[in-house]
Amino acid sequence: SICPRLKEFSDWLLKTMASGNLEAIFPAATREYAPVVEELWNTAAIQATHSRRSELGMLPSVASYFLERAADVLQPDYEPSDLDILYAEGVTTSNGLACVEFSFPQSADDDNDISDHSSLPRYQLIRAQARSLAENCKWLEMLEDVRLVIFCIALSDYDQFTLDADGTPVNKMLQSKKLFESLVMHPSFEHMDFLLILNKFDVFEDKIEQVPLSECGWFEDFQPVVSRQGNNNSRSRNINHNPSLGQLGFHYIAVKFKSLYSNLTGRKLYVSAVKALESDSVDAALKYGREILKWEEERLNFSCSEYSIYSTEASFSSH
C-alpha cells in the first residue's frame, strides 16, 4: 500500500487523465509535481506492481525508463537526449508518410572510384505509420517503384494487446501478422523483396524467460529444448553452439514468417534481428537491406545477359 498523501495524488492524477486535462495542467506545474511523481515511483508498492508488468497489458515497456528520470524530464528546461527520443516511440505528428535520405560511409568493399561523400549512392527511406495503412489506403499505389519493403515488428509484442477499430482487444503480434499479409499481397508490392525487421531482440530475450511464447496463439507449438549446462554467459553459449531461449524464440518466429511469406508469394523472405536502441544494430540491418538491393541488381543483370545470349530459345519458353 502507499501512504494517504501519495494515494490522494494518484487518485487526482487518474481523474485528471480521465478528464483529458492532463496536458493542460502538467506543463505549468511540472516543478511542483516532479518530486511527488518520483517519490510515488520509488515506493515499494509501485515497484512490486511494476515487477509484474507482464500482467499489465497496457503498460508501455519504456515506462520505467521515463519514470526513473521523472524529476529530470519534468524540469521546465528539460531537453530530450537522443536516447530519450528513441524511447519515446510512437510519438508522431502525422499518421502519413515520413521520408529521410541517407548514404553509407565508404568501406573497403566499395568501388575505389568513389572519391568523395557526395558521390556515394543515396538511399531514400520512406516510413509509413501502421495505423495509417487502412484496407483501402490509396497512397500505397504511389510506392510501386519502391525497391525494398522493410517491415518492422517488435518481438516483445507477442503477449501484448491493443484495441482494434471496434474497441476489441487484439494481440499485437497477430495484428502485425495480418498487416504483413495485406502488404505482401498488395498489387503495388507484388514483385518486391521484403526485409522483415524483428526489433527489440534485447527486450524479447528478457521477456521470454518469464512469459512463454505460447501466449500468442500463433506460437502455441513452440517447444524449445534449452540446455542449462555450462556457463550462462551469452558469449559462451554462442561459442559452444548452445543458443539461448531468446535466440531459439527469434529463430522460431523468423521461420514462421518465412513460411507464411513463401506460401503467399513463393519467394524468400529476408529477416534480421535488431536492437533499435543500439546504433550498430540498426546500421547492420540497413546495410543488410543495401546488400539485398545489390543481390537483386546482380540477379537482374545476369538474367538480362542470359536472355541476350539465348534470346531465340527464350522467346519460345513457356515459363
In the annotated binding site, the residues are 86-92, 199-202
User: Buried b / exposed e across 110-132, counting CB within 10 Å, b at 16+?
Assistant: eeeeeeeeeeeeebeeeebeeee
> What's the Cα-to-Cα distance from 149 to each of 14, 84, 269, 292, rounded to whole Å?
41, 27, 11, 11
* Residue from 212, 219, 253 nearest 54 by CA: 212
> What's the Cα-to-Cα distance from 89 to each of 41, 66, 99, 129, rounded to whole Å?
21, 12, 17, 12
Residue whose C-alpha cell reads 489506403 in the numeric block: 137
What would the grid cell of residue 213 be? 511464447
What would the grid cell of residue 275 be? 536492437
Give Dmax over CA atoms of the chain in angstroms.
88
Confirm if 176 and 253 have CB atoms less than 8 A apart.
no
| Binding region for Mg(2+) | 92
| Binding region for GTP | 86-92, 199-202
Rounded to whole angstroms, the Cα distance separating 216 from 222 reads 10
What would the grid cell of residue 276 be? 533499435
